[in-house]
Amino acid sequence: MSDAKINASGPIFWRDDALSFIEARSVEDGRKVCYAKHWHDTFSIGLISRGRCKYTNRTKTAEAAVGTVVLMNPGDVHACNPVRGEQWSYRMLYIDVPWLCETQAAAGFNTSHRFTPFSTIATTQSELYHGLNRLFDTLIDPQIEQLEKQSASVSFMGLVQRHLGSSRSAHPKSLPRVTRAADFIRQNCMRSLRLQEICAEAGLSASHLIRAFKKTHGLTPHVYQLNCRIEFCRSQLRTGHSIAEIALAAGFSDQAHFQRTFKRFVAATPGQYQA
């Protein structure tokens, strides 16, 4: 079933069990919607529908305004926040990587069936901006059949691929030890980790690890671990588990700590997201 939770003072989320590869979110008044730097397991693409915001992706920061489409590859550390209290609105889509890999391969954009990341982090191409708006409207319309929604998703991502191409390596070969550290954190994110464990896995000293990790991911290992936990919590909230159960499973000391951390990374409460 599809669901869109409407709250004038908060975010709107849309999901459909039959289209589990994609999730939508919109915010009409983003003046109080503030994100900590974070990343997603999914590919993210969105547009600014009103006003402007401060957009950070990896090491680049710019102002994004109406007409701008922003893109975040899986794992890209990013944030979009208000500009001096100005009102702004946005729409975002979060697309599962396995589905996108198959879509890229089927369209002939890669032959490895592995996600090929985009080098572009923002564009003002009007065809992409209006195409994303149309796709968003199609997805959230309960009168439109699932086949049309899925077809529209495939067509739009093909349009993105043709206009923006893909060139950036998803896993820089020059930093295999940092990659091992990140993999280790993801695999063990639910438990309390010691810095010495991560250093031993990566084969780096503590100072070198923290410096290289932050340069690569834009986050400290600890914040990266918190982000991993929140990604797990998002998936569990979509399946209807109770907030208290999820907080415990994710290793948070109490539900209040979970609530604060979730809102810091998602700019919505767990209850808003689950609804």
CA atoms within 13 A on the CB side of 268: 22
Among 266, 234, 196, residue whose Cα is nearest residue 20? 234
Strands, sheet with 22-27, edge to edge from the N-terminal-most edge strand: 2-5, 12-16, 22-27, 89-95, 43-50, 69-72, 122-123
Q: What residues are paired with 79 via a beta bridge? A: 56
Q: Are 184 and 225 in contact (CB under 8 A)?
A: no
- Tell me which residues of the chain have a pLDDT lower than 70: 1-9, 107, 111, 166-174
Q: Are 119 and 166 in contact (CB under 8 A)?
A: yes
User: Which two tokens mark 262?
Assistant: 């979730």
- Identify the sign of the CA torsion 7, 13, 17, 19: positive
The whole-number pLDDT of residue 67 equals 95
The whole-number pLDDT of residue 2 equals 53
Map residue 260 onto helix, strand or coil.
helix
| Burial of residue 182 (number of CB atoms within 10 Å: 0-12, 13-18, 19+) | buried
Separation CA 94–CA 117 (nearest Å): 15
The whole-number pLDDT of residue 174 equals 36
What is the tens place of the pLDDT at every residue in 137-179? 999 999 998 889 988 998 899 899 889 875 544 444 337 889 9
Name the phi and psi angles at 249, rounded to 5: -65, -30
The whole-number pLDDT of residue 155 equals 87
Domains and CATH numbers, the chain: 2-164 (2.60.120.10), 176-274 (1.10.10.60)
State the Cα angle at 154 between 119 and 67, rounded to 5°: 55
The whole-number pLDDT of residue 70 equals 97
